[in-house]
Amino acid sequence: MVAELTALRDQIDEVDKALLGLLACRLALVAEVGEVKSRYGLPIYAPDREAAMLRSRREEAEALNVPADLIEDVLRRVMRESYASENDNGFKTLCSQLRPVVIVGGRGQMGRMFEKMLRLSCYEVRLLEKDDWPQADSLLADAGMVIVSVPIHVTEQVITQLPRLLEDCIANRLKNDYNQCPDMWQKIQLIVIKIMSLGYILVDLASLKNGPLQAMLAAHSGPVVGLHPMFGPDSGSLATQVVVYCDARQPEAYQWLLEQIQVWGARLHRISAVEHDQNMMFIQALRHFATFAYGLHLAEENVQLEQLLALSSPIYRFELVMVGLLFAQDPQLYADIIMSSENNLALIKRYYARFGEAIALLEGKDKAAFIASFKKVEHWFGDYAKRFQVESRALLKQANDSRI
């Protein structure tokens, strides 16, 4: 028996080593593709090519009696690695005449992500942190784009101060240079350059959009756009991630930026600032707060986490992981997000009231009413409930594969 098993396992190991060799070879080929794409400014995420390729491999798999989902899952995993390594070649510069980019708050995680992507695309990037305010003048004076990436509770304040500071310092310089300049033609050139330098693109990356956008429009007369990257900064790459944008002023001036973000591999989603913020109340404030309250409850009930995990189904384990994840983050960030608006509090209180109503169903042992409410929500989810089943089945299996 042992000899039989050992012989078979040795063969499996040989197959796995060959597989490893193929992966190495594939990554090398993908790096070459990345190099070509970078040279011609093509987006690294090519959904059509991806879909066509997966379709072919699935068909071939079926002919070989290999489950089609297996080859698709394996190739998707390999492609994800490829996107990350396609970064290494840098990206085509879509706006080569752009003056330097200043990232205010550029040492934060999302700021550093944009710094990296911009530098990989050969833009000049300068960082402006709290401590750099004395040098803000020289850092900002000739900026072609200013990206505000500071905590949400100071975003509007920074936006209001920044353009004023910039305009003041440009006006002062202009006055000095103008007075010192003997030649009338050069004086006119100076004025043109300085006026141009006020035409920088103002961008913010905050997780709320209406307030910052209004503040940017009020404080700056040039092009303005709001971005919200919908992913954690530890993703390492923008490939296949969603970046939401809100148009604000002179979209033709920042069109290249939206295209550049697509070259980095992200998917763009356009929305109005008001609609964006309404959705964020649910996605951020309510969900974070509910998770916070749930974590608090677990801690105060003093349940044994180890035992809870040992007894978890893959779904519940994943939900626990999501709860724990919140508490690995910076509490200040969550306090800021949740307390950023009175609307958040109102929404949370409406949830609390409905929770209370649902408890009344339990207290009345009213199974029929519970089931009726349940069906109402089922109806609201519509076709998505079934789609989610398909989506989660694969994911929960993966969750179980990698169970620590």
Asked if 338 is part of the footprint of a second copy (rule: CB under 8 A), the reply reads yes
Quick one: which segment of 144-152, 179-187, 214-222, 356-364 binds a second copy (CB under 8 A)? 356-364
Exposed, middle or buried, 263 (CB in 10 Å: 0-12/13-18/19+)?
Answer: buried
Q: Is 178 in the site for a second copy (CB under 8 A)?
A: no
The residue behind tokens 């078979």 is: 8
Q: Does 386 bind a second copy (CB under 8 A)?
A: yes
Among 25, 188, 191, 195, binds a second copy (CB under 8 A): 25
Residue (175 or 367) nearer to a second copy, CB: 367
- Per the listing, tokens 């109806």 go with 379
Residue 5 token pair:
């098993």
- Distance in Å, CB of 211 to a second copy, minimum: 17
From 122, 188, 192, 385, residue interacting with a second copy (rule: CB under 8 A)? 385
Which two three-digit tokens encode residue 88? 């290494």
Nearest approach in angstroms of CB 400 to a second copy is: 6
- Token digits for 36? 């070509």
Does position 388 interact with a second copy (CB under 8 A)? The reply is yes
Give CA–CA dist 303/310, Å, rounded.
13
Per DSSP, 87 falls in state: G
Return the number of the residue (49 or 164) whose C-beta is nearest a second copy: 49
Collapsing DSSP to helix, strand or coil, 113 comes out as helix
- Does position 376 interact with a second copy (CB under 8 A)? The reply is yes
Per the DSSP assignment, residues forming a β-bridge with 242 are 267
Pick the closer one to a second copy by CB: 181 or 320: 320
Residue 69 or 168: the one with the smaller Cβ distance to a second copy is 69
Which range in 110-118, 154-162, 251-259, 269-277 contacts a second copy by CB under 8 A?
A: 269-277
Work out whether 352 is an interface residue with a second copy (CB under 8 A). yes
Minimum separation from the CB atom of position 43 to a second copy (A): 12
**Does an H or E element contain 343, and which?**
helix 342-363
- 102 sits in which H/E element: strand 101-104
Nearer to a second copy, 28 or 191 (CB): 28
Pair 222, 248: CB distance under 8 Å: no
Residue 22 found at the interface with a second copy (CB under 8 A): yes
Position 130 contacts a second copy (CB under 8 A): no
Residue with tokens 């429009």: 217
Residue type, 105: G
Q: Is 397 in the site for a second copy (CB under 8 A)?
A: yes
- State the Cα–Cα distance between residues 105 and 130, nearest whole angstrom: 8
d(CA 88, CA 44): 12
> Is residue 192 near a second copy by the rule CB under 8 A?
no
Does the protein bind a second copy through residue 136 (CB under 8 A)?
no
Q: Are 262 and 285 in contact (CB under 8 A)?
A: no
> Is residue 4 near a second copy by the rule CB under 8 A?
yes
Q: Does 191 bind a second copy (CB under 8 A)?
A: no
CA dist., res. 250 & res. 158, Å (int)? 22
Q: Which residue's CB is nearer to a second copy, number 134 or number 356?
A: 356
Footprint on residues 204-243 left by a second copy (CB under 8 A): 230-232, 234-235, 240-242
- Name the amino acid, one letter, at 139: L
Is residue 298 within 8 Å of 323, Cβ to Cβ? Answer: yes
Interface with a second copy, residue 13, by CB under 8 A:
yes
Q: In 3-state terms, the chain is what percent helix, strand and coil (to 5)?
A: 70, 10, 20
Question: By C-beta, is 67 or 251 nearer to a second copy?
Answer: 67
Query: Please, which residue, 195 or 283, has the CB nearer to a second copy?
Result: 283
Q: What is the spatial distance between Cα 253 and Cα 250, in angstroms, rounded to a whole number?
A: 6
CB of 189 to a second copy, least distance (A): 40
Q: Which of residues 272-311 bind a second copy (CB under 8 A)?
A: 275-276, 278-280, 282-283, 286-287, 289-290, 292-301, 303-305, 307-311
Q: Does 319 bind a second copy (CB under 8 A)?
A: yes
Q: Shortest approach of a second copy to residue 99 CB, angstroms?
A: 29
β-pairing verdict for 201-204 and 145-148? parallel
Per-residue binder mask for a second copy (CB under 8 A), 90-109, x = binder: --------------------
Q: How many residues are there in the chain?
A: 404
